[in-house]
Amino acid sequence: MSKARVRPLGCFVSYPSDSLRGTSRRRVACAWSATRFVMCAAGLAAVFSTVAAAQDEEQTYSTLAVQNRAYDSTHEFGAHLGILPLDAFTKGATVSGTYTIHFTHLLAWEVLHGLKSFHFDSDLAGDLEQLSVAPTPFEVLDWFVTSNLLIKPIYWKGSWFNKSVVRGEIMFALGGGYANYTRTGRALVDLGMVFRVYLNKLFSLRLDARHHIIFEDSIFSGFNLDHELWIALGTSLSF
């Protein structure tokens, strides 16, 4: 009786041929290339979507933030009380009036600004008099008239104690005119800034600050300049 031969248990390992190995490597390389392509495409899509979202958010913010002016006027009359503080010995309390034409929301022409100054001595002049030392007499500004171009780049709106809405604007002035001193008359150039708060459609409050550069009474006497700073509070009627 013959005995059957039994093979021992073991692991059977099959080694692929060279052609099979090459095919597998090409498949792996193709798969890796496809994976990298998908990853790059996904990254670019994420970047573009982020940029687009930011642009949409910016456009939405601009649309919400920028609003038209609530008050649109053509003619404006103003009255101001102010001070000329630069002279060390003689100050000036001023009364002035203006007439302005508004062409657009950006440009206006202050056709006429007329100012009258009332002089009073400073404390320094009184101290010198007590020492029997009189200051050298200088000319002081008596009145002037100017005409200015107004540029209105800033229009704003705010909240007053979270109870009411306040509107206003900031303007810049540039112009010139004629100044009359106690003994002579002179040409001048002025520039400054105006801060306005609207009370309603007709009335508004203004804070004006302007620097006046005043030339000598004669061009042959030398190129010397006098400076006057004008600061004033006022009210305007617009329609």
pTM over 0.75: no
**Average pLDDT by stretches of 10, the chain with 239 residues:** 47 46 50 59 58 51 63 94 90 96 96 95 66 66 97 92 91 97 92 96 96 80 82 97
In this predicted structure, what is the pLDDT of residue 220?
Answer: 55
**Which two three-digit tokens encode residue 133?**
């030392």
- State the Cα–Cα distance between residues 178 and 212, nearest whole angstrom: 11
Return the number of other C-beta atoms located less than 10 Å from residue 205's C-beta: 14
- In 85-184, beta strands by DSSP E: 90-102, 107-121, 141-160, 164-181
Would you call 132 helix, strand, or coil by DSSP? Answer: coil
In this predicted structure, what is the pLDDT of residue 209?
Answer: 97
Contact 79, 97 (CB under 8 A): yes
- State the Cα–Cα distance between residues 178 and 94, nearest whole angstrom: 16
Q: Tell how far CA 22 is from the center of its chain.
A: 70
